[in-house]
Structure 1
Amino acid sequence: MKKIFSKMILVMVAALAVTGLAGCGNGNGNATAEQKKDSPLKVIFYPNESAAEFEKSRDALKDIISDATGRKVKIVTTTDYNIVIESIANGQADLALMGAEGYIQAHKKNPDVKPIVTNSGASGTLEDALYYSFIAVKEENEKNYQSGDGYTIDPIKGKTFSFVSNSSTSGFKVPSSAIVKEFGLKDSDELINEGKFFDKVLFGGSHQGSAVNLLKGDADAAAFMNLPQYFDVADGEENKTGMLYQVKDDAEAPFDTVRGEKARVILSTPVLNAPIAANTKVMSQKEIDQVVEALTSKEVAENEDIFAPKDSDQAALFVKEGDERFLEVQDKFYDPIRELSK
Structure 2
Amino acid sequence: MKKIFSKMILAMVAALAVTGLAGCGKDDGATAEQKKDTPMKVIFYPSESAAEFEKSRDALKDILSEATGRKVKIVTTTDYNIVIESISNGQADLALMGAEGYIQANKKNPDVKAILTNSGASGTLEDALYYSFIAVKEENEKEYETGDGYTIDPIKGRTFSFVSNSSTSGFKVPSNAIVKEFDLENSDELINEGKFFDKVLFGGSHQGSAVNLLKGDADAAAFMNLPQYFKVADGEENKAGMLYQVKDDAEAPFDTVRGEKARIIQSTPVLNAPIVANTKVMSQKEIDKVIEVLTSKEVSDNEEIFAPEDAEQAALFVKEGDERFLEVDDKFYDPIRELSK
CA contact (8 A) 1:6 1:339 kept: no
**Divergent runs of 4+, >4 A:** 31-37
Shift of 1:37: 4.7
* Match status 1:81 vs 2:80: yes
* Mapping for residues 1-342 of structure 1, pairs under 5 Å: 4=6, 33-34=30-31, 36-342=35-341
**Whole-Å separation in 2 of the counterparts to 1:33 and 1:127:** 36
- Aligned in 2, Cα 1:5/1:42: closer, same or farther, shift over 3 Å? farther
Unaligned runs of 5+ in 1: 8-30
Cα offsets for 1:171-229 (capped at 9, x unmatched):
00000000000000000000000000000000000000000000000000000000000
Identity %: 87
Cα offsets for 1:255-287 (capped at 9, x unmatched):
000000000000000000000000000001000
CA contact (8 A) 2:36 2:69 kept: no
**Whole-Å separation in 1 of the counterparts to 2:186 and 2:229:** 32
Residue aligned with 1:327, SS: strand
Aligned to 1:10: none
CA contact (8 A) 2:41 2:75 kept: yes
Unaligned runs of 5+ in 2: 10-27
Residue aligned with 1:283, SS: coil
Aligned to 1:24: none
TM-score (norm. length: structure 2): 0.91
- Aligned in 2, Cα 1:261/1:3: closer, same or farther, shift over 3 Å? closer
Cα offsets for 1:146-179 (capped at 9, x unmatched):
0010000000000000000000000000000000
Cα offsets for 1:91-134 (capped at 9, x unmatched):
00000000000000000000000011100000000000000000
**Whole-Å separation in 2 of the counterparts to 1:337 and 1:298:** 29
- Aligned in 2, Cα 1:221/1:83: closer, same or farther, shift over 3 Å? same
- Aligned in 2, Cα 1:341/1:2: closer, same or farther, shift over 3 Å? farther
Paired residue total: 319
Task: Give the aligned CA root-mean-square deviation in angstroms.
Answer: 1.5
- Aligned in 2, Cα 1:193/1:33: closer, same or farther, shift over 3 Å? farther
- Aligned in 2, Cα 1:89/1:37: closer, same or farther, shift over 3 Å? farther
Shift of 1:38: 2.9
Q: Which amino acid in the other structure matches residue 278 of structure 2?
A: N
Shift of 1:4: 3.1
**Whole-Å separation in 1 of the counterparts to 2:299 and 2:194:** 48
CA contact (8 A) 1:160 1:199 kept: yes
- Aligned in 2, Cα 1:154/1:319: closer, same or farther, shift over 3 Å? same
Residue aligned with 1:282, SS: coil
**Whole-Å separation in 2 of the counterparts to 1:50 and 1:174:** 22
**Whole-Å separation in 2 of the counterparts to 1:273 and 1:130:** 5
